[in-house]
Amino acid sequence: MKKVIKYLAIILGVIAVDQLTKGILLYLILGRVPVFGAAFNLVPFSYIMARVCDVFNIVFTWNPGASFSMFRVLGETAPLIIIFATGAVIGFILYYLFRRGDAHERAALALIAGGAIGNLIDRIRFGAVIDFLDFHIGTHHWPAFNVADICICVGVGLYLFNWWVARRKKLNAQKGGK
């Protein structure tokens, strides 16, 4: 039971920080935090809010596609397709998180699940995800992202690193056993 609580705390913590940062951003723009609404009716699509340094801005942008604006070409059906696909992936990750794997895998999966749920909340509420972190070099910008995206990327990185370490251990054990 302690294991479940620990990973649920990671998931809920990621969701809370993600939604809090997005809520602060909406409050700064609108003077309120809407519960639901069509994203594009709430605020303009994209604009720079603050230049932090030469390579980083705080911006406001709606991402109607998936990660890094993928699937934007699906048009109006994209949010529904992405909502159902994301829900299925989250279900699989949660099943795997609580049924299999070691502690390192579970921590990584909890980060991924928390980030995915954070972005799913935006999709259900607004039909798009709020992105606001903008890194750039001159006029070349990395796609804007948010806290949930960071947690997903870190979780995937940790999961892959754990897989690589486990594979190396297995290979070393096989070499030593021959």
The residue written with tokens 């070499």 in the block is 175
108: nearest Cα among 166, 69, 49, 57? 166
CA angle 66, 30, 19 (to 5 degrees): 45
Measured distance CA(147)–CA(171) in Å, rounded: 36
Q: How far is CA 167 from the centre of its chain?
A: 27
DSSP, residue by residue, 139-171: TEEPPPB-HHHHHHHHHHHHHHHHHHHHHHHHH
Look up 149 and say whether it is catalytic. yes
Question: Distance between CA 140 and CA 79 in Å, rounded?
Answer: 27
Query: Does the annotation count 102 as an active-site position?
Result: no
| Rg of the chain taking only CA atoms, in angstroms | 19
Token readout for 20 is 């809090």
| 162 CB-near residues (< 8 Å, 6+ apart) | 102, 104, 105, 108
- Please give the positions annotated as active site: 131, 149
